[in-house]
Amino acid sequence: MSALQQLRTMTTIVADTGDLAAIARLRPQDATTNPSLITKALIHPDNQSMLSETMSRYHGDVDAVIDALTIKIGCNILELIEGRVSTEVDVRLSYDTQATIDKALAFMDAYQDAGVDSERVLIKMAATWQGIEAARYLETQNIHCNLTLLFGQHQAIACADAGVTLISPFVGRILDWQKRQQSRQNIPPTDDMGVQSVKLIYQYYKQHGYDTQVMGASFRSVEQILALAGCDLLTIAPDLIDELEAMDVDVTRKLSPSMATELADMQKISLTHEAFNHEYQQDKITQDLLPKGIDGFIAARDELAKALAGMR
């Protein structure tokens, strides 16, 4: 079996793309999107008529058009996969709990109107305190959430306490940060702070019996991916999926619930808002990468908004 086929026996493989052609070819179980991927998919020349038609239907209301197109892409993806799609709320709402809840409920209503089972949708938001609190409420309403832009253990702990369905720790962005800080170009998985972060989160969750699943995200290489073989889910860009499919190597499981419980016990922690903020102030990686990640997704949304405004 290829490396990808072996990995599938241990881990749920998710396609990290909004490219419908790639999803149709790769046939992943689930698919994840973010504002950058949605923008890339929608500004493709093949989608110009859909953009124009949607702009006309919503009378040029750019925010309404972006929301409608986001749902449309989600529905198109669901026609190609058996599992779930992650749909991200407007990242500009990352520090507003109620606005995030309202947007999530509107998205779920839109999916319901399109005939989509709510079990097939994950609402995605940034793992700020406000985003996590929004997810806490949404999960009580049987709306499943995927907390993204996750870089620190404190974020993961708060997500588990909130009962969220899924978290997406950003492996590659942590590695990028580490390379800059340490002035190193080549860092093996054993020293990779992104890989090690996911392993610690996974260990903590399994030792304390949390149902929240861990989905490694934002990979830079197949080596990072294989270092997390056995993680609940891994969301992988199409080019790396293709690389794994072409690899003829033995894949060794690195993570499992039984392995996690055999490791040194990790103290169970519950974080108040004040304690969460304190941990954030001590975590230089999250302090640096979380705001930048939010700003980057806002920039992607602004790029799409600019393209749509040009159609008025």
Please give the pLDDT value at position 76: 92
Look at the chain and report how many structural domains it folds into: 1
44 confidence band (pLDDT: 50, 70, 90)? confident
Separation of alpha carbons 155 and 152, rounded Å = 5
Exposed, middle or buried, 1 (CB in 10 Å: 0-12/13-18/19+)? Answer: exposed
What domain range includes position 183? 3-309
In Å, the largest CA–CA distance within the chain is 60
List, in order, residues 6 or more apart from 239 with CB less than 8 Å away: none
- Closest-CA residue to 227 (of 187, 261, 184, 262): 187
User: 223 vs 41, which has greater pLDDT?
Assistant: 223
Please give the pLDDT value at position 312: 64
* Residues annotated catalytic, as ranges: 124
Separation of alpha carbons 70 and 74, rounded Å = 6
Tell me: pLDDT of 223 over 80. Answer: yes
CATH of the domain at 34: 3.20.20.70
Mean of the per-residue pLDDT values of the chain? 95
Separation of alpha carbons 77 and 54, rounded Å = 18
End-to-end Cα, the chain, rounded Å: 52
pTM over 0.75: yes
pLDDT digits (tens, 9 = 90+) for 61-107: 989 999 999 999 999 999 999 999 999 999 999 999 999 999 999 99
